[in-house]
Each structure stands twice: as C-alpha cells, then as structure tokens.
Amino acid sequence: MSSPSRGGVFRAETDRRLEQFAESISFDRRLYVQDIAGSIAHAQMLAAVGLVTDDECQQIVAALEEIRHEIEDGRFEFRIELEDIHMHIERSLIDRLGDIGRKLHTGRSRNDQVSTDFRLWIRDAIDRVDSRLIDLQRAFVGRCDAEADVILPAYTHLQRAQPVLAPHYWLAYCEKLQRDRQRLTDCRRRVNVCSLGTAAVAGTSLPIDRADVARRLGFDAVAANSLDVSSDRDFALESAFVLTLIAEHLSTWAEEWILWSTVEFNFIRLPQEFCTGSSIMPQKINPDVLELTRGRAARVVGNLQTLLVLLKGLPLAYNRDLQEDKPALFDSFDTVEACLEIAVPVVAGAVLNREAIDERLDRGYLDATTLMEFFIRQGMPQRTAHHLVGHLVGKATERGVRLADLPLDEFQQAHSGLDESVYEVLGVEKAVEAFVSYGSTAPSEVEKQVAHWKEKLGPSNL
C-alpha cells in the first residue's frame, strides 16, 4: 500500500522504506489512552475559548471515545504509513468528522502532544510501580511477627559480622523500598507538568487556555517555556534513573536470597512454585526467579544508559531522536513492574530454615563486638579493647570453642577488673539483647520499627 500524498510543500509521496524506518506505531500505540484523554481536554478547552463550537466539541469527544473503544476491542486498524498513535487517532477522527476533525489540532503540535501523552503515561506508570512497592514492603513486614525471635548472622565482606533479628533484616529492605517510593514521588512532581499548548516550539498566536487543559488532565503545573518543553525529556531520564535504583535494590535482594538458598548457607527455602528444576540433575531446585530478577536489572541499567546517550547531544527544541526515548522507558517500567509483582509472593512464601541457622549461629564469633563494647564500658580505650578481643578470639579459635566457653581467668588476664558479668554479653542471644541504640537490632527498637511500618503501610492482604 503506498503512502497517501503528504501535500503542502511536498510533491512526492513518502518512500515506503522511510515509512518502515521512521514508524513508531509498533511501540507507541500503548499511548492511545493518554492521547485520547489529552485530545478530549484540548477539544474542551478550544470550545471554552471559542475556537470550536460546543456542538463541534461534542462530536469530537464522542468520536474520540468511539475510537478508544475500537482500540480496546481490537477492532481498530493500525497502518504503518500513519507512523504513530497520534496520526492514527487524528486520521480516524477526520475520516469520521471531516473538517470538524481537522479542527482538533488547532493550537497544538505533535511535539507538545507527544510530550503530554508521554507525561500522562509515565504518571500512571509511576503510580502502578509505587503500589507494587507498597505490596513488597507489606510482604516483608508480614514476616516480622512470626520470625520475631529468629536471629540471623549479618555479614560484611561476606564474612560473619554481628547477630541481628530477622525482622531487622526484613525492615532493611523496607527502608530501601521507601527511599525508592520517595524518589518516585519527587520525580512524579516534575513529570506532572503540562506541555500541551506550547505547540511546535514558540507557542501560538491563538487565544488558548493552557491552564484549563492542565486542570482537566490533573497536571499540577504548566510548562513555562515553549522552547524548553519541546526538547525536555528530563522527566523520562529521571524516571529511568529511579527505576534503575529499584532494579538495583531488587537485584541485591535476589543475590542475597540466591546465596541463602544454597546448601552452603541453607538459610531459606524458596516457594517451589517459583523455582525450576534441571533437565539432567533430578535433585536440583533452582532459584530461577531470583536469577532472572538479578539479570533483568541489567536491562534497566542499560535503558538508563540509552537515554543518557540519546539526550547528550541534542540542541534545543524537538528533534526526531526523541522518538527513541519510549522503547527504553517502556521496557524499564515493564521490567520493574514484572519483577516487583513476582517478588511479592516469593517474599511472602519463603521459609527460614531455623534449625540450620541455629545450628551454626555460634560460628564466626558474632558476639566479639559486643564483648569489645563491654570492655569499653569498663573504662578501656576502644583501640585497646579491640586488640584484646581479637586476642581472645584467637585463643578461642585455636581451641575450637566459643568466646562464652573461655574460662574467666582468660578474660581476667585481658583485663584484671573483670568478673562473671562478662558472660552476660556473650552468646548471640545476649549480644542481641545488649544493643540499645536507635536504629539497631535491639529487640525493643525492632519492635518499635515493626509497629511503625505496620501503621505506615496498613494491613496486608497477602
């Protein structure tokens, strides 16, 4: 099928090869809801300022709603020569209404139309991601009561460091996800600015009311500079960055639970409905969902890089390069939403291997730092206490015993003023009870934090 004549300054039809090269309908058709919503608001504004009649506006709105239903029902024909979703909807409107349909584009350009549609789509997508982040936070908080008494080894450099309560561990992820939510909220404010009415690059001489359109579409503000807004994709780039951090946090969680699910750690059993087997090794239960989460983070990072490079050399105002912003950002939102959706049941359904954890909890001298702080409370300088505890750990290691198994005279050789009270901080349970600082794994602090998160997030439906 040949391209329809473009008219105007053009005396030749578009080459079919250019149509195929330049089309975006294959990916931007998903903007149809936003494009129709923006067009309806624009038509209503045109009627309010007298650039179309009320009757013309009603016909335009009715036809746009009809087009929306046809797209939703799969009855709408997409044609590559019409290039993008905006031209598809406009052409269909003109086919139905003739000159009345041609009036819709009054006072706007595809440049500001695309920007507005994209902002509306991102705004909706941000809200979806935020909702999924809340669900994941609730899944972590939902574990806390049942595992309030479980002590886990915390690691630094993948070496056993200090004991922490399991709820303290789960709430650490809630904190990360909360920062993600805060970034989304902050990003959404800059997304939620109305571009429509800036037209191609300089604005319009027609008496349009941009604030009216912004109110109808739920925007918080109106873009103040037509030259800036036609080239602005900061909102897309910022969204991609926030999504990248979310993906990084999910990848960190996935990596940790992959390790925890190995025979070597044996800390956790993943729900089998989210695991796969081996084609040759019948004993395998593979954490594919976590590995894919970790792997797909790479795609989101790559999409951010794509957008950074895409924008780095563009002069002011619209350039066709900006068409390429959508596949990358669409993919990032799709990927992060999918990872969040599947993370929720994995977190909710995983089971800690309490016996395996308890069996090895005394390994690694997790109470060494608490012993050092006990010495400090006796008046010993920190560096001296650090050296002496290291010496005691060395003795315990040589004998293959815990610090709590060393006789009192060994401690008294380290510090003559010690008595049996030293044993009150030895052992992982006593070490945990010794914590007192805000934000620590102290049982009382963890209990407060769990209550805080329950109140903040509300009840879970998991």
- Angle subtended at Cα 265 by Cα 264 and Cα 269, rounded to the nearest 5 degrees: 115
Question: Closest Cα partner for 319 from 111, 25, 82?
Answer: 111
* Pick from 87, 46, 44: nearest CA to 67: 87
Residue 272, token pair as written in the block: 């089998």
- Cα 425 to chain centroid, rounded: 41
Among 157, 279, 416, 421, the one annotated catalytic: 157
Q: Helices 443-457 & 166-191, crossing angle to 10 degrees?
A: 40
Alpha helices per DSSP H over 350-419: 354-359, 368-377, 382-399, 408-414
Question: Of residues 2, 5, 26, 278, which has the active-site annotation?
Answer: 278
Q: In what helix (H) or strand (E) does residue 194 lie, and over which residues does it extend?
A: strand 193-194
Partnered with residue 163 across adjacent β-strands are: 153
Residues forming a β-bridge with 164: 152
* Cβ-based neighbours of 167, under 8 Å, separated by 6 or more: 143, 144, 147, 148, 446, 449, 450
Distance spanning both ends of the chain, measured CA to CA: 53
**Annotation says 391 is catalytic:** no
Angle at 57 between CA 56 and CA 62, to 5 degrees: 100
Find, among 176, 323, 305, the residue nearest to 240 by Cα. Answer: 305
157 among known catalytic residues: yes
Residue 233 CB contacts under 8 Å (≥ 6 apart), including other chains:
307, 311, 322, 325
| Catalytically active residues, by annotation | 157, 278
